[in-house]
Structure 1
Amino acid sequence: MGIELRHLRCFLAIAEEGNLTRAAVRLHLTQPAVSRTLAALERHLGARLVDRTTHRFALTPEGRAFHDRAAAAVAAFDAAADPELLRRRPLRLGHAWSAFGPYTTPLLRRWQQAHPDTPLELLRIDDRTAGLTRGEVDAALLRGPVDAAGLATVELVAEPRVAALPADSPLAARASLTLADLAPETAILNPVSGTTTLGLWPPDSRPTATLTVANTDDWLTAIAAGRGIGVSAASTAEMHPHPGVVYRPLTDAPPVPVLLAWRDAAPHPAIPALEELARTIAHEHGAGGSGS
């Protein structure tokens, strides 16, 4: 048996709905038909994709790995078969937070002037690769190291790090801070799309308490509520101001690289022009990076 598009769509519906019955309703199929399609796909791949028992329904490690590939394949097919996109294919640029920082507006404006026939769509997606590995975007502005397979990256700028503090914190009265100043506080971390981990601190002076959140909005809310402190790139202060949060420079933290990333296989034809414009804007503002 060969894999067909219907097998991929069925698997994605199951993964997203978390239930065979709901997936069947979404696909306008019977539940036995969905079960047979999933079983056929698993036989072809030689791996169990979904752990389904009376009390549990979740993707297996193999299922999670296959999910991104299946989503990218379906997205690529849908884009190729869309007649509107064929006539006027946009360039979808993902980001998880802060986009291109202070260079975001110049990038969008100058792209529109130089490439009016290729709309540049900026999409915020709370994911480590901002939807790139899932095929939801054509390129992405990412921060920190990226180890996903099949991606090409180029460093555009390096941003200094800042501490994000509750506005009424005693630390907010200081002009700048060090990592040691933050160690006694609860560290609020975003493992979904953030760049800060406890590894940022030396092993002998790390925060002993942490709180995890799923996105930048929840991160800001938790800090403003006085539940802890955060560390981020400097552009966060400009792109995400909050009345309950104060940002202060961190003098001893390494900078955060801002990367332009895209898939190696069949990239959007406008990627070279986007890279050139992003580099030009960064250079004009006294910043720069290197390819990788």
Structure 2
Amino acid sequence: MTTESFGTRLRRAMDTRGPLCVGIDPHASLLADWGLTDDIAGLERFTHTVVEALADRVAVLKPQSAFFERFGSRGLAVLERAVADARAAGALVLMDAKRGDIGSTMAAYAATYLDPASPLFSDAVTVSPYLGYGSLRPALDLARESGAGVFVLALTSNPEGAEVQHAVRADGRSVAATVLDHLRAENAGAAPMGSFGAVVGATLGDSLGAAGADLAINGPLLAPGIGAQGATAADLPKVFGAAVRDVVPNVSRGVLRHGPDVAALRESADRFASEIRDAVAG
């Protein structure tokens, strides 16, 4: 249990380490690129190397839980160790699990990632609101109680997302805009920043306007798409406008492709962090 909110810890980490989140995505092709086998030994080597290289310098590390779950209980053991080691080295851990359900099932997901007694307790977790924003209440309440954070899918970069996220409700508001409204209410009065964030793709550009999206939610905006997906640090002010200081750009393949060389991983992460810091400050 922490006495500080996730928003407070995230703002400090972004200000001191730079506003960068690096994914830990041990998918089969990346393991092969590193010369590793697609098995538990390769998973363990990959994950340990990323944590060793980056946990003492980046603000946020984001393990993608699916790539660990595919190896069963042994994969989850690797994930548990990665979470503990990364947090011990000073990185905030955002578990990319994208969980979403109702009732007791949502409460169980919340307990898995947001209860300090859980071996997978993380600083924050990604969730999906598309069973209705209210279905997320167990996660939102437990995060507030435990000093953790929640990132809610709002405007994702995959092209399929628009059919749901840009859909217009009877009140004339898009689904995405409604999700952002809810998050703004969760973060009301929080300083220096709320703990309840949105996932908004850095590659979306002008299409954000089509969703009627006001990104000023007094909370963090996780922005995938920098690097391999085509967005650059220079795009951030144009995409996020006045909310750019609250953006946590996510880079995965753009950094991870430099492994397994630890020095090269560090150099890549440092370069992205510097470019993002300059773009936000400018």
TM-score (norm 2): 0.25
- Give 1 or 2: higher strand fraction: 1
Name the one with the larger helix percent.
2
